[in-house]
Amino acid sequence: MRAKALLLFAAAVAFVLGPFLVPGFGGFDPQLYPNPQVDPPVQPAGYAFAIWGPIYLWLLAATGFGLLRRHDNRDWDRHRGPLLISLVIGSIWLPVAMVSPIWATILIFAMLVSAAIALVRAPLADRWLGKAPIAFYAGWLTAASFASLGLTGAGFEIAFGEVTWAQICIVLAFATSLGIHWMRRDEPIYFLSVIWALIAIAVKNGAAVPSVTWLAAGGAAVLAIVMIVEFIRFRPGWVQSS
């Protein structure tokens, strides 16, 4: 178990170092698509990507704690395999995204699936360094995966235009977030990063694309209500498990 904990921490370090090793990445190059995605409605406002800072720091703290204090804890060992897969893929995602949006989309969905499995298997104890950081990470991946899908669909002119792809992907991200949360209802922190992304999409589109703005804002509002209800419901258990 110690070896797996060490590998997971190393993967987290590699994941965090990724942006420093591939400087200058500011999103998919619009010219990588046959239909250049210069100002796609499915993409959140630029400020939203600052969420990676807390995600990186929280994952480092969590995997470091797991290595130093919980390396021999079987409850902590169950999530390490899928989280390791997600972070290893994440450590190579930026170089791939700079040359191939299709492969980047495939990889980010692989990151999401493995992160969701890790969330389901995350430990009951040590909530703030156990399941909460994984939930926060998985929530952002949920939004980012479907944003990538929308960019790919619109960029390669598959069936629909940019606005319709944005609408479809917002609905899919909303539905997926409810499904993932249903598998681990005791950690509503997952919704926080999804809501952050949806609000940023609404901010980005504003009055220019009202259908996307209201769909994203409405989805964020519904998820916020669910999150608050779940916080109230599960809060007594957190006192015992933290």
- The whole-angstrom separation of Cα 75 and Cα 82 is 14
pLDDT, average across residues 96-120:
95
Q: For 215-234, what is the mean pLDDT?
A: 92
In a domain, 153, yes or no: yes
Within-domain flag for 174: yes
- Better pLDDT: 21 or 155: 155
**Euclidean distance between CA atoms 115 and 141, whole angstroms:** 8
User: Cα–Cα distances in Å, from 27 out to 35, 96, 97, 163, 191?
Assistant: 16, 12, 8, 19, 23
pLDDT at 237: 60
Q: Give me the number of domains the chain comprises.
A: 1
Q: Look up the domain containing 168 and give its range.
A: 2-19+41-241
**pLDDT confidence of residue 236:** 63
Q: Is the pLDDT of residue 85 over 70?
A: yes
Q: Quick check: 131 and 187 in contact, CB under 8 A?
A: yes
Q: Output the pLDDT for position 36.
A: 78
Entry pTM: 0.93
Q: Is residue 33 part of a domain?
A: no
Residue 174 has pLDDT above 90, yes or no: yes
209: in domain = yes
Contacts for 178-182: CB closer than 8 Å, 24+ residues apart? 178/223, 178/226, 180/116, 180/119, 180/138, 180/142, 181/226, 181/230
Q: pLDDT of 186-205, one tens digit each?
A: 899 999 999 999 999 999 99
Q: What is the mean pLDDT of residues 106-113?
A: 97
**Is the pLDDT score of 11 beyond 70?**
yes
With respect to residue 26, please indicate whether it lies within any of the assigned structural domains.
no
Split at pLDDT 50, 70, 90, the class of 165 is: very high
Residue 208 falls inside a structural domain: yes
Instruction: Quote the mean pLDDT of the chain.
Output: 90
Residue 36, in any domain of the structure: no
pLDDT at 23 over 80: no
